[in-house]
Amino acid sequence: MKALTWHGRRDVRVDSVSDPAIKDPTDVIIKVTTSGLCGSDLHLYEVLGPFLDVGDILGHEPMGIVEGVGPEVTAVTVGDRVVIPFNVSCGTCHTCEQGLHSQCETTQAREYGSGASLFGYTKLYGQVPGGQAELLRVPFGNNLPIKVPHGPEDDRFVFLSDVLPTAWQAVEYAAVPEGGSLVVLGLGPIGDMSCRIALHRGASQVIGVDLVPERLERARGRGVQVLDLDKHGKGLADTIRELTGGRGPDAVIDAVGMEAHGSPGAKLAAQATNLLPSAVAAKLMEHVGVDRLHALYLAIDIVRRGGTISLSGVYGGQTDPLPLLTMFDKQIQLRMGQANVHRWAGDILPLLTDDDPLGVDTFATHHVPLDDAPAAYEMFQKKRNGAVKVLFKP
C-alpha cells in the first residue's frame, strides 16, 4: 500500500509499504477514505525527530470502510463506515471507564511515562502506524471504531477523529458561564472549531486571536470577534481587557501550544535538537524543554481573576517556568490534556446532521491526494494558500 512516512526534519514521503495484517482476534483493517493533516503533525515535521524512526507512518485523523475483521470482532462488520479516534484506547480499563480514553492503561507508553498510545505519533505514544495511508490496522475493534452512517461526504464525520472532540473538550474544560466571555488564542483547526462550539453552546462573547488574515476572516464569518496579533502587538492584553469590561474574559483557550510566536530563543533551541544525536536530543526535549510559552503567558495575563484557562495546544518540554505566584494570586483554574474522543462522541454525533450547525461540511480548506501530501505539509506549515484544514484522499 501507499503511506506517508517520516524521513527526517521537513522530509515526509509517500512510500510503498507492506499492507497491515490482523494480529489480534479483535483487530480491524480499514480502507482509509479520508485522513486529516493536524497541527500536531507539524511537531513531527519540525521538532520531534528524536522520537521517530525513518519509515514511521504518520497521521491520526482517519476514517474509512471496514475491510477485514478478527474472529472476535462483533461490533463492526465488513462494509461498515467508521471513524477512528486518535487515542488508541481499549474502552474497558479503569481510565477508559472514567471517560479518560487518552490515559488508557492498556496502551500507555510506560517507557516514556506517557498516556495512551496515539496513531502515527512517535515513540512517545507507542509508535503505532498512522492513518495517512491506504490501509490501517485498528486494535480493539469492538470498542475503538465509531460507526457512522453511509451517505454524506466524509467531511461530515472525519473531524470526529480529533478536531471535534478536541475542540469540544477545550470548551468543556473552559467552563464558560452562561452568557460569559471566551478568548481563543490561535485560529487553526482546533481554535476555529472551539469558537464555533462555544458560540453554539451559548457563550455571549467569543474573541479569536491570530495573525493569519485568512484565519481571522474565516472566524469573523462565523460571528467571532477577531483580533490581529500583528496589529495589536504588545497592546493586545489591554485591548482584550477593554473588550471584556476591564476585568478580562471568563475563560481562555490556548489552542496554540509550542507553535506560539514570541520566543526566538526557544525556537532556536527547538531547531537545535535536530542537530544533535537522537538519543541526546530526546533527553534534551524530555528534561530541559524547548517550548515557546508566549500564548500561555498571554492567557495567564488576560484571564479574569477566578477565571479558567483551557489548554489544548500541545507543549513538549518539562522545565519551562510558569508564573505560579500570579496564577495562585489570580486564583486561576487550569485544565488540560489530550482529548478523550469517546467521552465526547455521544454529545457531538447529534450535531453532524444536514443542518450542520458547526459547519463541518465546509470546514476543510483543501482536499489533497495522498500522493501530494509532502507538498501539503509544507503548505500547511508555512500557512500558505489559506490552508487551515487539509484532508488527504488515498
Sketch the domain layout of the chain as residue ranges. Answer: 2-162+340-393, 164-336
Pairing, β 308-311 against β 333-336: parallel
Give yes or no for residue 165 having a pLDDT over 90. Answer: yes
How many Cα neighbours within 13 Å face the side chain of 127?
14
- pLDDT tens digit sequence for 299-340: 999 999 999 999 987 665 555 578 888 988 899 999 999 999
CATH number for 2-162+340-393 (one of 3.30.413.10, 3.40.640.10, 3.90.180.10, 3.40.190.10): it is 3.90.180.10
Q: Within 10 A of 11 (CB to CB), how many other CB atoms are there?
A: 13
Q: Is the pLDDT of residue 293 over 90?
A: no
pLDDT tens figures, 232-252? 988 999 999 999 999 999 999
The length of the chain is 394
Phi and psi of 119, rounded to 5°?
A: -65, 135
Q: How far apart are CA 113 and CA 5, in angstroms?
A: 25
Confidence of residue 268 (pLDDT cuts 50, 70, 90): very low
Cell numbers for 112: 516514556
CA–CA distance, 350 with 335 (Å, rounded to integer):
26
Architecture of domain 164-336: 3-Layer(aba) Sandwich (3.40)
Place of cell 490515559: 103
Q: Quick one: pLDDT at residue 324?
A: 85
Q: What is the pLDDT of residue 383?
A: 87
For the chain, state the CA radius of gyration. Answer: 20
Q: Could you read off the pLDDT of 122-159 as tens digits, one per residue?
A: 999 999 999 999 999 999 999 999 999 999 999 999 99
Cα gap 35→162, rounded to integer Å: 11
> Which residue would you say has higher pLDDT here, 106 or 40?
106
pLDDT above 50 for 261: no
What is the 3 state secondary structure string of the chain? Answer: CEEEEEEECCEEEEEECCCCCCCCCCCEEEEEEEEEECCCHHHHHHCCHHHCCCCCECCCCEEEEEEEECCCCCCCCCCCEEECCCEECCCCCHHHHCCCHHHCCCCCCHHHCCCCEEECCCHHHCCECCCCECEEEECCCCCCCEECCCCCCHHHCHHHHCHHHHHHHHHHHHCCCCCCEEEEECCCHHHHHHHHHHHHCCCCEEEEEECCHHHHHHHHCCCCEEEEHHHHHHHHHHHHHHHCCCCCCCEEEECCHHHCCCCHHHHHHHHHHHHCCHHHHHHHHHHCCCCCCHHHHHHHHHCCCCCEEEECCCCCCCCCCCCHHHHHHCCCEEEECCCCHHHHHHHHHHHCCCCCCCCHHHCCCEEEEHHHHHHHHHHHHCCCCCCCCEEEEC
Same fold for the pair 2-162+340-393 and 164-336? no
pTM confidence score? 0.90
Q: Round to whole Å and give the CA distance between 305 and 327.
A: 9
Residue showing cell 541526546 = 280
**With contact defined as beta carbons under 8 Å apart, do 126 and 112 qualify?**
no
What are 229's three cell numbers? 496579533
- Contact in structure between 81 and 52 (CB atoms under 8 Å): no
Contacts of 273 (CB under 8 A, 6+ apart): 47, 49, 50, 281, 284, 285, 290
Q: How far is CA 139 from CA 62, 72, 298, in A?
A: 14, 12, 40
Residue with cell 485498528: 138
What separation in angstroms does the CA of 40 have from each of 119, 120, 220, 351? 12, 11, 24, 25
